[in-house]
Chain A
């Protein structure tokens, strides 16, 4: 039975072959000495199977050279006959275009018949005529660009032209694997160095659908998972720390709400009050004014009344004094006349005194009427006269007058006589000195009517003569008269003295009579007073009563006056207050504290209803207004304090509610938050738990990916370990964990599962969790690794090692299979690995046998060759061994012949080997 798959490879005029036909439907031993184009032949397939020139690999040769080698002219062909389940036998071809050694792709349905490409003259058809030429052979040829061709071969082509056959050779499980498939195919075709990293890359590609395609940025996951927890925790801690401040703010906020309610309630009252105030004020003012007038009138009346009373009191007091004086007089008189029994006694005394007086008067009237005093004066004058006369008499003969008379004229004497006294003129001789000449000259200086003394001039006309010169006898007679007179006078004098005492007696008696008359008078007075006494006492009593009444009224009046003053004072005070209120109201009316920001929309703000406020009287308006103003200020103040408080809370880190619609909402939330800290704590704990669990969810995904990959690798190892390779007891490709990372992940997952299940986890006691050094190291390692790789993938968690175990030796791990074993073994291992990978990628429902190629095949013994052929066949590959000598294990032995410098493989030289048993 013919298997679907590659049937033949034909090169015409390419790669130094004039013509080469190679069977591909079974294992082939390609025989030629070294360097005779075995590899070139196989590499030619890259044009048809790899297609993308970047992916093709021709060893050290540059691509341009390679192209010239394969497509020297426009009659160079690389042709592949493939039998496809869906389209039967098809030919895929690549033909040189000549110019620039370029080439193009084509395909058609039908057998690959080399003769189809020959012109009648035996030459090969040229590229420009190819389609037309083949059309004549009933071959409907489709041309393709490399891209189209690649899509064609790997089944990625979206749409086909009508009637265009399906040329898909490699049906893959997933068309997206085409790239990997081609890479592996290249490697497998050439079996270059195959190291663990390449294998890992391919296997990851192959298994990618079974692995999470997660590329986990662990740091981001961690931060994301814990961002909220940490943020919430910061908020919680900030609130916890700021509890006291929040409580203060709450108290203020309550005040604010209450105040808002109050102001809302008061505002209309204030407005109404202000509207009513003026009328009320005027009315009150008038009432108070009336009251004041009335009180002042009362006060005046009171004063008048008081004055009257005072006057009355004065009158009464005077009268009383008089009466009391009389009483006292009566008492004095009564004392005086204690011993007097009656008026008669006094009258008797008066009579006796009258009689004595009358007799005395008689006695005195009989005596001289000349008084003793005048008599005594006369006696003295007589005596003086007597003395003068006696002196005159003594000097009668020789006195100054006489002397002057002797020396002076009469006129001159006369003038002196008028001036000098009698006494002087009668001075005796021894009593004066006289210079008559000098005297005369002085006298001559003045006329007869004058006397001029030194400094004094006297007019003499009015003066009389002082001295008249008498005779002795005359003098003696005069003396005698005088002496007699003197005696008479002495007698009279004695009589006069007796008269004096009589008169004194009379005077005494007169006094006595007066006294007794006075006594009588007094006694009469006493009698009179005594008669009035009872009436007077009554009057005194009455007066005292009256006075007491007046005093009482006066004192009452004082109290009343005091009362009035007080009332007046009160009224004035009221007036003052009223006026003061009016002023205050007037002042406030124009400067109300409730205009502006928060007051205009106070009702919309959160507030506490103000209840139970009674109606106010307008009297209280001013006070209320003041209070209202104060409250308004207080409201603003509270607002600003709350604002500051909030800012402080923000500064302290409590920013959770910062973006609330308004401050009130934020405050309410903060307050509520502060009341619910215990619940917050629990919520935080829950969040932290789930954060730990969440953060490890991604890690679980990675770990599960790793486990899944390991499972896939076990399958893969079963695939490649199916047959023993050479002398290898063991050949496996194993994922080896990157221990640091895998352990870090395990550490975190373990912790999370403990957290998830355990009750012991307490967020804020979990210093142990976040501060755990191992955990932190694990986390840090994942973060660093993730940062370096821009995310963690399953691929980062392991590397692949080739585990090779030779018989009788322990298994060994190798990163590079080339160093693991002998050359042939390595070749086998690589081939098996590559084939297994290609097999995994292929769609098993669409088995198309392809080929693989093994150079230097002689290094394998026959057993291994056979084993390889079988293994390849199982994976859907026909194996081509290249060697200088034929290998009998292959189905075909195909020698490369050389003729005229051109290589040549003819169908006729194919040798088909069949085992004898099989034949039998």
Chain B
């Protein structure tokens, strides 16, 4: 289907989707089923339209979509770096607790969990200058970007976090080559092979 055939009338949520994606947020099927369905039903049209505007809309069949940017702006790099750190610590903590990483949607990231996380990664957090408040605001940022959502008194990860998880697993695969170059990587074994 070519961009010329895009019928804007059939894309009622274009505005909202564009604003969402353009502000760096991820759309999760679980979190926004209605928007997702619209995006899914008009996937080609959206992709063509955004592409014509110079954006690359990417879909992950695990249920999330985002605007892909090859070069992270310096502006967001700090946040994404900290988010990467956060998710890495979360996955690491949960892996240590023997939890299946792919079932991250079942985790309740509450105060007790944060406490546990802080205890396990104290030195790392200190190096990054993050306290509990910092973690909380980081989780809020994650929620803003569509990696997590706030529920009553706690957070829950959303499928978009797979982007990080995939990356961690790739890192784990290339542990030897990358270890020296990645400041986020410590000597712990990353997540093991997952089930499927």
Contacts and interface: CB of A to CB of B under 8 A. Distances in A.
Interface of A: 196, 736, 738-740, 781, 784-785, 787-789, 799, 801, 815
B34 A740 contact: no
Given A739-B105, A740-B105, A785 B33 contact: yes
A815 B34 CA distance: 22
Interface in B93-137: 102-103, 105
Contact of A799 (B36, B37, B61, B102): B61
Contacts of A738: 29, 63
Nearest to A814: B61
A564 B36 CA distance: 110
Interface of B: 29-30, 33-37, 61, 63, 102-103, 105, 159
Given A738-B63, A799-B61, A787 B105 contact: no
A910 to B, nearest CB: 40
A383 B63 CA distance: 189
A787 B33 contact: yes
A787 B61 contact: no
Contacts of A196: 61
A789 B63 contact: no
Contact of A815 (B36, B61, B105): B61
A740 B149 CA distance: 15
Contacts of A815: 61
B30 A787 contact: no
A788 B30 CA distance: 11
Given A784-B33, A788-B36, A788-B37, 5 more contacts: A739-B105, A740-B29, A787-B33, A788-B34, A801-B61
Contacts of A789: 33, 37
B195 to A, nearest CB: 12
Contacts of A736: 61
A153 B14 CA distance: 42
Nearest to A781: B30
A661 B38 CA distance: 50
A787 B103 CA distance: 25
Contacts of A740: 29-30, 63, 105, 159
A788 B105 contact: no
**Interface SS of B by simple majority:** helix
A787 B29 CA distance: 13
A744 to B, nearest CB: 10
B34 A787 contact: yes
B135 to A, nearest CB: 23
A749 B35 CA distance: 27
A787 B35 CA distance: 11
In order of increasing CB-CB distance, the 7 nearest A-B pairs are A788-B33, A788-B34, A788-B37, A784-B33, A785-B33, A815-B61, A740-B30
17 contacts: A196-B61, A736-B61, A738-B29, A739-B102, A740-B30, A740-B105, A740-B159, A784-B33, A784-B34, A785-B29, A785-B33, A787-B34, A788-B33, A788-B34, A788-B37, A789-B37, A799-B61
A116 B85 CA distance: 78
Contacts of A784: 33-34
A785 B29 CA distance: 8
Nearest to B105: A740
Contacts of B34: 784, 787-788
A573 B99 CA distance: 104
A736 B195 CA distance: 13
A198 to B, nearest CB: 12
A771 to B, nearest CB: 12
A330 B105 CA distance: 148
Contacts of B159: 740
A799 B30 CA distance: 15
A784 B28 CA distance: 13
A915 to B, nearest CB: 44
A784 B103 CA distance: 20
B116 to A, nearest CB: 20
Contacts of B63: 738, 740
A431 to B, nearest CB: 166
Most buried by B among A736, A740, A785, A787: A740
A378 B138 CA distance: 177
A781 B35 CA distance: 14
A788 B61 CA distance: 17
Contacts of A739: 102-103, 105
A789 B39 CA distance: 12
A799 B43 CA distance: 15
Contacts of B103: 739
A427 B91 CA distance: 189
A737 to B, nearest CB: 10
Nearest to B103: A739
A137 B179 CA distance: 82
A801 B105 CA distance: 21
A788 B32 CA distance: 9
A349 B137 CA distance: 165
A196 B43 CA distance: 14
Most buried by A among B37, B61, B102: B61
Contacts of B29: 738, 740, 785
A308 B41 CA distance: 132
B145 to A, nearest CB: 19
Contacts of B61: 196, 736, 799, 801, 815
B75 to A, nearest CB: 31
A789 B37 CA distance: 6
Contacts of B30: 740, 781
A110 to B, nearest CB: 42
B27 to A, nearest CB: 12
A787 B33 CA distance: 8
Contacts of A787: 33-34
Nearest to A784: B33
A437 to B, nearest CB: 171
A788 B35 CA distance: 8
Nearest to B36: A788
A788 B37 CA distance: 6
A736 B36 CA distance: 18
A799 B34 CA distance: 18
B147 to A, nearest CB: 15
A876 B29 CA distance: 41
Nearest to A801: B61
A170 B159 CA distance: 44
Nearest to B31: A784
A312 to B, nearest CB: 117
B152 to A, nearest CB: 9
A353 to B, nearest CB: 155
A553 to B, nearest CB: 109
A820 B113 CA distance: 39
B150 to A, nearest CB: 14
B45 to A, nearest CB: 14
Nearest to B108: A773
Most buried by B among A739, A781, A799: A739
Nearest to A811: B196
A851 to B, nearest CB: 28
B55 to A, nearest CB: 20
Contacts of A801: 61
B54 to A, nearest CB: 23
Nearest to B38: A788
Contacts of B35: 788
B161 to A, nearest CB: 13
A784 B29 CA distance: 10
B89 to A, nearest CB: 23
A787 B38 CA distance: 12
B47 to A, nearest CB: 12
